[in-house]
């Protein structure tokens, strides 16, 4: 039994959906659970729709809703085998359902409304995919992942009830997947009150891992538009190379530093059951891609590069140039937590304490103001944090050029540099 995950890019138009079917033809005899994300950029569109709904902006709501509906109808049109086919009629009903929801008054919190509306993206995509596969003689059953993934009522960031979820998946879903291929949604779950919840943006990888955990699947494959896990974002480093194998521990570390190929929460449930994760290209389903597993013992010595833009560098010293001591640090951390700011890097010296944080102006401005009351504070905005694993093999010169480096931190394997933008 295997779990496959197809992200938004793999179902962004009719040709892409057809390609998913052709990937699946390579796995005819396999028991598969197929997890799919919303099509293309639908989630972003739905986020705008939520805002218009909560703001009672009927005009905006109409425009955005029509865009989302047209986008899906265009895909359906491209998938129709016969112009008079009624195969996709039930998707029209789902749109009517969403339309009815939008006509009601918004009640409850923003996050609650967000989950009720944004979750439609995955419902639409999974319905369309399941229908298209059936039309293409790939037998499958559509299931609603909300019946299986049980979360708390923390909307937009639902916390999974692992015991309940894995029990239901093992008992109810496993026998279904043993019999036929199943198509379901990523990203969405259900609260104890039977309301829809979501697992956080880009959460479909995580859903795949949750299902794999409950099913005791033999593997999870994330099908992407890249050959596998690369040692850098190829958009930033054209000479980026594909990594064949990666140990779980290293994968977690890379995710922690901000590598975006694998959703950080995905790895832990897989690691705990020793389920290997494959990242493979949906354009080249024969190619092996990248394997992430405990079986990969060999430490890969290829340097990995992770970039984080828009970083704020904050240097804090005491007003009287005394040492920054424990009580100061406690105070600084409490201010950070009050402003909801997380440190990406910290460095301590005799009379100063430095922080690198995501430069979210709303939060950072408040933090800087709060700090200035008790400390001398200097800040540098718009810097870039570069994390390099295996830096001894890295070409730092061409990475940095003659950019100013505001901060440098070296561990045995990991080097972090905070560089000015030009």
Interface positions with Mg ion (CB under 5 A): 8, 37
3-state per-residue secondary structure call for 310-332 = EEEEEEEEECCCCCCCHHHHHHH
| CB-CB contact of 145 with 83 (8 Å) | no
Q: C-beta of 203: minimal distance to ligand ASP in Å?
A: 5
Measured over the CA atoms of residue 92, residue 96, residue 99 and residue 101, the dihedral's sign is negative
Q: Which residue is nearest to ligand ASP (CB)?
A: 204
Q: Which is nearer to ligand ASP, 198 or 354 (CB)?
A: 198
**Nearby residues of 235 by Cβ (< 8 Å), 6 or more positions away:** none
Q: What is the C-alpha separation between 154 and 165, in angstroms, rounded?
A: 16
Q: Which is nearer to ligand ASP, 37 or 191 (CB)?
A: 37
Q: What is the C-alpha separation between 54 and 35, in angstroms, rounded?
A: 30
Tokens of residue 235, six digits: 């958009």
Q: How many CA atoms lie within 13 A of 150 on its CB side?
A: 15
Q: Is 232 in the site for ligand ASP (CB under 6 A)?
A: no
Q: Which is nearer to ligand ASP, 7 or 264 (CB)?
A: 7
| Locus of tokens 């959703």 | 263
Q: Of the candidates 2, 6, 8, 19, which one interacts with ligand ASP according to CB under 6 A?
A: 8
Q: Which is nearer to ligand ASP, 261 or 368 (CB)?
A: 261
Q: What is the C-alpha separation between 122 and 45, in angstroms, rounded?
A: 13
Query: Which part of the chain contacts ligand ASP (CB under 6 A), choosing from 202-210, 265-273, 327-335, 359-367?
Result: 202-210
Q: C-beta of 38: minimal distance to ligand ASP in Å?
A: 4
Q: Which is nearer to ligand ASP, 31 or 266 (CB)?
A: 266
Q: Which does 291 bind (CB under 5 to 8 A by kind): ligand ASP, Mg ion, none?
A: none
**Nearby residues of 116 by Cβ (< 8 Å), 6 or more positions away:** 101, 195, 196
Q: Is 204 in the site for ligand ASP (CB under 6 A)?
A: yes
Q: What is the C-alpha separation between 119 and 96, in angstroms, rounded?
A: 15
Q: Which is nearer to ligand ASP, 19 or 37 (CB)?
A: 37
DSSP state of 283: T
Site string for ligand ASP, 19-58 (x = CB under 6 A): ------------------xx----x---------------
Site string for ligand ASP, 143-182 (x = CB under 6 A): ----------------------------------------
Q: Which residues bind ligand ASP (CB under 6 A)?
A: 7-8, 37-38, 43, 121, 186-187, 201-204
């Amino acid at each position: 039994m295997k779990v496959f995950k197809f992200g938004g890019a793999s179902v962004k138009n009719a040709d892409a959906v057809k390609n998913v079917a052709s990937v699946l033809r390579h796995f005819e005899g396999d028991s598969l659970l197929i997890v799919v994300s919303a099509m293309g950029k639908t989630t972003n569109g739905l986020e705008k729709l939520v805002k218009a709904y909560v703001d009672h902006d009927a005009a905006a709501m109409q425009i955005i809703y029509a865009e989302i509906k047209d986008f899906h109808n265009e895909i359906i049109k491209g998938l129709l085998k016969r112009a008079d086919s009624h195969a996709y009629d039930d998707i029209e009903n789902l749109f009517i359902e969403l339309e009815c929801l939008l006509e009601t008054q918004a009640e409850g919190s923003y996050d609650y409304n967000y989950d009720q509306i944004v979750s439609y993206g995955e419902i639409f995509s999974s319905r369309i995919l399941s229908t298209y596969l059936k039309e293409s003689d790939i037998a499958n059953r559509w299931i609603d992942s909300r019946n299986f993934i049980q979360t708390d009522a923390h909307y937009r960031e639902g916390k999974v009830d692992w015991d309940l979820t894995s029990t239901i998946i093992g008992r109810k879903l496993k026998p279904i997947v043993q019999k036929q291929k199943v198509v379901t949604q990523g990203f969405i779950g259900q609260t104890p009150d039977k309301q829809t919840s979501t697992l956080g943006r880009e959460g479909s990888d995580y859903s795949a891992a949750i299902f794999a955990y409950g099913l005791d699947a033999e593997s999870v494959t994330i099908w992407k538009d890249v050959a596998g896990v690369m040692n850098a974002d190829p958009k930033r480093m054209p000479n980026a190379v594909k990594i064949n194998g990666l140990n779980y521990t290293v994968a977690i570390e890379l995710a922690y530093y901000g590598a975006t190929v694998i959703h950080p929460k995905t790895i832990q449930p897989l690691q705990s059951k020793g389920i290997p994760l494959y990242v493979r290209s949906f354009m080249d389903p024969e190619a092996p891609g990248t394997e992430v597993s405990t079986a990969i013992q060999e430490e890969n010595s290829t340097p990995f590069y992770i970039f984080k833009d828009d970083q704020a560098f904050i240097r804090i010293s005491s007003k009287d140039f005394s040492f920054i001591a424990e009580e100061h640090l406690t105070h600084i951390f409490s201010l950070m937590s009050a402003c909801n700011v997380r440190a990406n890097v910290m460095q301590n010296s005799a009379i100063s304490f430095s922080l690198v944080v995501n430069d979210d102006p709303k939060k950072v401005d408040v933090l800087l103001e709060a700090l200035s009351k008790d400390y001398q504070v200097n800040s540098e905005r718009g810097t870039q944090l570069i994390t390099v694993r295996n830096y001894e093999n890295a070409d730092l010169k061409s990475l940095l050029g003659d950019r100013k480096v505001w901060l440098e931190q070296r561990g045995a394997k990991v080097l972090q540099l905070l560089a000015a933008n030009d």
